[in-house]
Amino acid sequence: MRARREVVIELVLLGAVLLAAGALFAQGLAIPADYDEGSYLAAVDALRGGQELGSEIFTPQPPGFYYLLAAGDAVTGGSLDGVRAEVIALALAGCVAAFLVGRLVAGPVAGLAAAALLAVAHPYPAFASRVSADLPALVLALFSLACLLAAVTRPRGSPVLAAAAGVLFVAAVSVKLSALTVAVPLAAFALVRPPARRDLALAGTGAAVATLAFLLGHLGQLEGLWHGAVSYHGAARDVPGPGLRDNAEHFGHLIDPRTRNALFWLAPLGLAATVALARRGVALRLPLWPLWLWAVVGEGFLLWHRPLHDNHDVLLAVSLALPVGIAVGAVLDRLPSGRTLAAGAGVVTLVLAGGFVEEVRDQRGLHASEPAEVTWAAEQLRARTGPDDLIAVDRPIIAVLAGRRLPGDLVDTAYLRFRSGYLTPEHVLDEIDRVDVRAVVTARAFRDQPWLLAGLRARFPTRVSRGGVTLYLRPPALSG
């Protein structure tokens, strides 16, 4: 009876964490779409229209990401808010996965602390409603880790859970390559217990089967997929720009106390708690060092990565929130009841609450409508093109809002793609001619390509402009 009551309390507290996290994550729905969100939604629309990933659609992320978005798109109808709602659901699932990992390592309190900290660990909540690959991939990675831990903590292991860990690992990597870093704690946890090496072998088998299925399913697109998801990012590293020092300064901002990031306020306490647990010989269900090792490897990967963007920091938030939250929760769980426990729990709660308030404030500070020129361009496209017409834009959210489809190779026309040589003005014009694009919108990178603009003026005699955005239209153009 007591055990049942404890489980009920545990679930109620987890539910409270998820409700608070959901309220926080939903704040991002009122933020205008960024460039990448429009590009990814345009790619999914092209996929829905029958174009193939890799061979026809330029895919700077692995294909699993687009399939994941397409699955949500089928349920939500393809709107920006609908797909963002899918990401919010995944972000909440990530908190559940963090709870499971923490519970398996050090018990329920550690699990709850890990889930609560992840929910407010910047920039996890900032990207909990953004359409990007980093957070969904790491959510799958967390569930892979939870499955393996559940297998190795069972007296006789669990072949099903171990194999599931391998399959989920491959699924995570198929969404974002940075999820490869979770291989570090997966291998470490399997090796800390000699009997668990069988589970590691089973996880490897599951990963091998999933990889083979992936390769067989994409035989005709492998070169194109590699071109976008791997070679493109390699070429991007060679583009002159921020380097190692700039990346280090980027992280310096994250750990600045003035940012009120709960993760970095609690990180020193989590490290101290880990040391204290080790010195006192406290036996957790599983050791913490594999999780700390993941955080170190994750930060090393990000320091190396170029160009480094805010969405990449989700890896650091996830990999660091786990050992910090679990260590702090484990110490709280072992404090004697009374003033010491109340004081410790109060401090942690205040930091988490402060992080929650700061994240809400940051998100609300970004609330706005889509820029007027973006909505104007979308309205013009709806009025001047037909539902089946192909268009080209350098700000893809315009096509999404207009309900118009892009050629697959032009769903991403970012500055970096031009600067890396993976897109040229000649190729854009050739693609426009090849698929008979009926309208082009220049609002971003296209404006910096004089040769491209000259080609557009020669091909599209009708032009209308507003606020730095220009529409190029083929005849016959509708009046209005």
pLDDT tens-digit profile of 215-250? 998 888 888 888 888 888 887 777 766 767 777 777
CB 139 within 8 A of CB 91: yes
Same domain, 343 and 452: no
Same domain, 312 and 444: no
Instruction: State how far the Cα of 326 lies from the Cα of 313, in Å rounded to an integer.
Output: 20
Same domain, 358 and 377: no
Same domain, 339 and 420: no
CB 83 within 8 A of CB 28: no
List the strands of the sheet with 439-442, edge to edge: 391-393, 439-442, 469-473, 462-466
Question: How many CB atoms neighbour CB 274 within 10 A?
Answer: 23
Closest CA to 343 of 355, 354, 331: 331
Helices (H), 77-158: 80-106, 108-120, 134-152
Same domain, 101 and 152: yes
Domain-located, residue 342: yes
| Pairing mode of beta strands 469-473, 462-466 | antiparallel
The pLDDT of residue 196: 66
Same domain, 187 and 167: yes
Same domain, 413 and 331: no
| Pairing mode of beta strands 462-466, 439-442 | unpaired
Last residue of a domain, one of 302, 335, 364: 364
3-state secondary structure of 227: helix
Last residue of a domain, one of 338, 364, 390: 364
Domain-located, residue 3: no
Instruction: State how far the Cα of 450 lies from the Cα of 447, in Å rounded to an integer.
Output: 7
Query: Distances in Å between the alpha carbon of 381 and those of 129, 409, 434?
Result: 27, 20, 20
Query: Distances in Å between the alpha carbon of 409 and those of 47, 221, 284?
Result: 11, 13, 51
Closest CA to 396 of 112, 169, 58, 166: 58
Q: ∠ CA 463-465-468 to the nearest 5 degrees?
A: 135
The pLDDT of residue 54: 87
- Type of residue found at 249: E
Q: What is the pLDDT of residues 74-127, one digit of tens each?
A: 887 778 999 999 999 999 999 999 999 999 999 999 999 999 999 999 999 999
Give every residue of the chain whose pLDDT is below 50, as ranges: 477-480
The pLDDT of residue 199: 79
409: Cα separation from own chain's centroid: 23
Domain-located, residue 2: no
The pLDDT of residue 454: 96
Last residue of a domain, one of 346, 364, 382: 364
For residue 464, give its domain range. 372-473
CA Rg value for the chain: 24
Domain-located, residue 183: yes
The pLDDT of residue 20: 97
The pLDDT of residue 195: 59
Same domain, 140 and 252: yes
The pLDDT of residue 477: 44
Domain-located, residue 61: yes
Same domain, 398 and 360: no
3-state secondary structure of 378: helix
Same domain, 238 and 355: yes
Instruction: State how far the Cα of 143 lies from the Cα of 141, in Å rounded to an integer.
Output: 5
3-state secondary structure of 270: helix
Tokens of 418: 């031009």
* Number of domains forming the structure of the chain: 2
The pLDDT of residue 258: 67
Same domain, 245 and 394: no
Closest CA to 150 of 115, 100, 114: 100
Instruction: State how far the Cα of 263 lies from the Cα of 120, in Å rounded to an integer.
Output: 7
Q: What is the pLDDT of residues 344-368, one digit of tens each?
A: 888 899 999 999 999 999 999 999 9
Same domain, 397 and 354: no
The pLDDT of residue 476: 59
CB 63 within 8 A of CB 47: no
Measured over the CA atoms of residue 63, residue 69, residue 71 and residue 73, the dihedral's sign is: negative
Measured over the CA atoms of residue 386, residue 388, residue 391 and residue 397, the dihedral's sign is: positive
Rounded to the nearest 10 degrees, what angle do helices 134-152 and 159-173 cross at? 160
Helices (H), 153-228: 159-173, 183-191, 197-217, 222-226
CA dihedral 113, 114, 116, 120 (to 10 degrees): 130
CB 446 within 8 A of CB 424: no
CB 311 within 8 A of CB 87: no
